[in-house]
Amino acid sequence: MKVIGKPRRRVDGWAKVTGRTRFADDIVLPRMLHMKLLRSPLPHAEIEAIDVSRAEKLAGVQLVLTGKDFPVTFGIMPVSQDEYPLASDRVRFVGDPVAAVIARDEQTCTEALDLIEVKYRPLKTIATPEEALATTEPRIHEYGPHGNIHRLQAHEFGDVEEALGSSDYVFEDVFFYEGNTHLAIEQQAAVAALEDAGGLVLYSSTQNPHYLHRELARVLQMPASRIRVVATPNGGGFGGRCDPANHEMVVAKAALALGRPVKICLSREEVFYVHRGRHPVLMKFRTGVTKDGRLTGIHLQTLLDGGAYGSHGAASTFYTGVLTPTTYELPRFKFEACRTFTNKPPCGPKRGHGTPQPRFGQEVQLDKIAEKLGLDPAEMRLRIAVKPNSLTANWLRIGSAGLAECIRQVVERSGWKEKFRKLPEGRGVGLACSAYMCGAGLPIYWNKMPHSGVQLLADRSGQVTALCGATEIGQGSDDVLAAMVAEVLGIGAEDVRVLTGDTGLTPVDLGSYSSRVTVMMGNAAIQAAEALKARIAEAASEQFQVAPNRLEFANGRVFLAADASKGMAFREAIELAEAKFGTLGSVGSYRPPDPPGRYKGAGAGPSPAYSYTACVVEVEVDRATGWIAVPKIWIAHDIGRVINPVLARGQVVGSVYMGLAEALMEEQVFRRLPPKLSNALVHKFPSLLEYKSPTSLDMPEVETVFVEDPDPNCPFGAKEVGQGPLLPVPPALANAIYDAVGVRIDELPITPDKVLRALEKKAKGEEPRVGPEHFPAVPYPEPVVVPPPWEGGDGNAVKGAGPKVKVPA
């Protein structure tokens, strides 16, 4: 291969290093106005009255919008379209927007916001999932099974109690993973304007222009064909721009009402309120094992703190369990999950979407199991690593699976055998593994259309243009698109112009989420490029009087495979094709294979392929201060095939960084204001200074290894790399701390105070552990019972259809 696998400067690299990349807030249009949102200072209240008359009269103010201007709800998931662009009768968290001011500049907007008077009637605030379970009234939303429960679900694949009963050991552990946020450095911005004859264009830092397009049409009650969404390059995504956002809806409405361009850029504080980040999850794992460390069954229960709205929560809830069986051989699996509403900014998808939490629990528990059984944790995992070309207990189809090789690589490179349980007191190593999906097998709204489409244009200038709805969020999707097309056509990646993320110009791609872009856009791109190549080959082959398949495309030439001296420039071949066929173009599209599971709930978890990762973290723990230093991390990732090693390595190291950040310090947490100040539940530190994230001084050296186990469902065999490598980092760190000082910290983040507390307990002879003590009673429903593939099922449920979920109108 000429392009795939070779280190290259990314196709959008020049723009990024010269400051020319146009992010949303860099867009300035003639006659543009500015907008700001008034947000609720109370976590839960009824809105009794809003008076905007003084704001409207301020010089420079053009328009004030409130909830009455937005009768229609929206939401990313069809089952929870529970958000209003501006709240009209109820606010549900500090930061819920209630009004918008559009004025000549931001300063005037800010002044006008102060003139809006909102009369609130405070309601009881629900701060935690436990409170949500205990509070039936008031309900934060009028939908969901009951009380303040948003989602409840239960699935059982084989009789897990029987499996646990006949196991040599059963381990029961409770873990907690704190919520945290994406913290992309770019603050979300959007510019809306009218295009010709009343059509709307919205430029926005969105990861998912297609879903935003649909929701805009819904909220604005306009035909989608009159709306164009342009996803500007995102200044970091990480899942934070997957949901359609209030400000996008409101700025669009304002531009339509005023006939002028309107821009909004959120402040950093607002970005913390928009959130949609990692769900805080409490988990209980009951795991049966044999003496030699084989898993017999897992009963996993999860409880999610969803925040104030549905967001992606229906999917997030599934993801706290459904990928658990994809890493190790697991004969039986029971999974119960519950998502609650609380009066906090809504949680949603963040890098790894729902799976880092159970991955943390499972990998720490495996470490405890290995310890108890006297097994080396790496050896034990090698023995139980999932096999390629297999089905899991919950009917997910595994293709290529390079996990065993990943484990061998990190064991070898880290000097694991010389270090594990052998380093001096205070130093330690920990190992963990993971698997992740390469794109969701099903779209967010049910349909049979492609998940990704690519269109190619070529003309006599020799220029090839690739159009796709995929969104460049920094991960390098534009570069992947160019590389796929270039490889097939035998030209350089830099010879392909890419135009992406524009619903007015590019074929639909569902968006940059669930690690789906390389696989889905890549397959569509190859199909389109092969179609174009066939035409060019047919025309060029006439020149040499050979069959088209005797031609080769490489190095910008089209030539006889048997005699490279007989050939022509790629541009000349295009001329011949344009003369023979007329204007040249081609399309390709991709839809994932139908999943084998057919039970209700089988839609979450299937993927065209799964990536695998293994990680070793080394730590030094200061016993006096509890301070945790990480000198080095080794990580091996089964990527299927590397497309551009420069970018792929960047995704791995970036994932390690984010995993380590969640493990050591990041937390989106809340506190109650003192009663004299309203007692409101507020974000503890909605600022970049106090929300601690690692700086360059905190980041260890990372040694990255790629295991290339090409997957037949993937373009050139390439699997995902943007999310999976985050998953093993937090548990590997926790396991390393145990190796270093013999204490278990069963909750994230692992901060020095928790280490000290555990060390004190150890010194007193108590269980040297800090973590949640118990798992509350959750009213899980009767499970949907599905026999695993090896117990004679056909992928259908044999009992239970799951809870009915009422959908809001």
Partner 1 sequence: MVRRNVHIDLRVNGETQEASFAPYKTLLEVLREDLGLTGTKHGCELGECGACAVLVDGEPQLSCLVLAVECEGRSIETVEGMAKGAELHPLQAAFADLGAAQCGYCTPGILMTAKALLEREPSPTRDRIREAISGNLCRCTGYQQIYEAVEEAARRMKESA
> Which residues of the chain form contacts with partner 1 (CB under 8 A)?
9-10, 12-23, 25-26, 28, 107, 111, 182-187, 233-238, 267-268, 473-476, 646-647, 649-650, 653-658, 687-689, 693, 695-697, 699, 701-702
Q: Evaluate the omega torsion of the peptide bond into residue 730 and state whether it is cis, within 30 degrees of 0.
A: no
- Can you spell out the DSSP letters for 293-347? S-EEEEEEEEEEE--SS-TTHHHHHHHTTTTGGGTB--S-EEEEEEEE--SSSPP
Q: How far is the CB of 225 from partner 1 (least distance, A)?
A: 31
Residue nearer to partner 1 on the CB measure, 375 or 616 = 616
**CA dist 252 → 88, 215, 217, 500, 683 (Å):** 18, 12, 10, 21, 28
User: What backbone phi and psi angles, to 5 degrees, belong to 673?
Assistant: -65, 155
Q: How far is the CB of 432 from partner 1 (least distance, A)?
A: 18
Angle 765-770-774 from CA coordinates, rounded to 5°: 105
User: What backbone phi and psi angles, to 5 degrees, belong to 634?
Assistant: -110, 135
Q: How far is the CB of 807 from partner 1 (least distance, A)?
A: 35
Residue nearer to partner 1 on the CB measure, 10 or 359 = 10
Q: How far is the CB of 625 from partner 1 (least distance, A)?
A: 21
Residue nearer to partner 1 on the CB measure, 178 or 479 = 479
Residue nearer to partner 1 on the CB measure, 21 or 390 = 21
Q: Which residues pair with 706 in a beta bridge?
A: 637
Pair of tokens at residue 313: 């929560």
User: Residue 221 burial by CB count (10 A; 0-12/13-18/19+): exposed, middle or buried?
Assistant: exposed
Contact status, residue 144 vs residue 772, Cβ threshold 8 Å: no
Q: How far is the CB of 512 from partner 1 (least distance, A)?
A: 11
Residue nearer to partner 1 on the CB measure, 81 or 234 = 234
Q: How far is the CB of 690 from partner 1 (least distance, A)?
A: 9
Residue nearer to partner 1 on the CB measure, 59 or 562 = 59
Residue nearer to partner 1 on the CB measure, 253 or 649 = 649
Find where tokens 């789906």 sit.
Answer: 516
Q: How far is the CB of 20 from partner 1 (least distance, A)?
A: 7
Q: How far is the CB of 170 from partner 1 (least distance, A)?
A: 38
Residue nearer to partner 1 on the CB measure, 521 or 551 = 521
Q: How far is the CB of 472 from partner 1 (least distance, A)?
A: 8
**CA dist 762 → 335, 372, 374, 740, 765 (Å):** 33, 18, 21, 13, 5
Residue nearer to partner 1 on the CB measure, 35 or 647 = 647
Helix, strand, coil distribution of the chain in percent, nearest 5: 30, 25, 45
Pair of tokens at residue 59: 């010089």
Residue nearer to partner 1 on the CB measure, 171 or 685 = 685
Residue nearer to partner 1 on the CB measure, 331 or 724 = 724
Contact status, residue 391 vs residue 595, Cβ threshold 8 Å: no
Residue nearer to partner 1 on the CB measure, 86 or 432 = 432
DSSP at 394: T
Pair of tokens at residue 472: 């460049």
CA atoms in the 13 A half-sphere facing the CB of 23: 18
- The two beta strands, 262-265 and 189-195, are antiparallel
Q: How far is the CB of 250 from partner 1 (least distance, A)?
A: 21
What angle separates helix 209-220 from helix 246-258, to the nearest 10 degrees? 50
**Cβ-proximal residues to 788 (8 Å cutoff; 6+ apart), any chain:** 157, 158, 331, 332, 333, 391, 392, 393, 394, 395
**CA dist 372 → 161, 170, 366, 772 (Å):** 21, 11, 10, 21
Q: How far is the CB of 5 from partner 1 (least distance, A)?
A: 15
Q: How far is the CB of 162 from partner 1 (least distance, A)?
A: 45
Q: Which residues pair with 286 in a beta bridge?
A: 172, 299
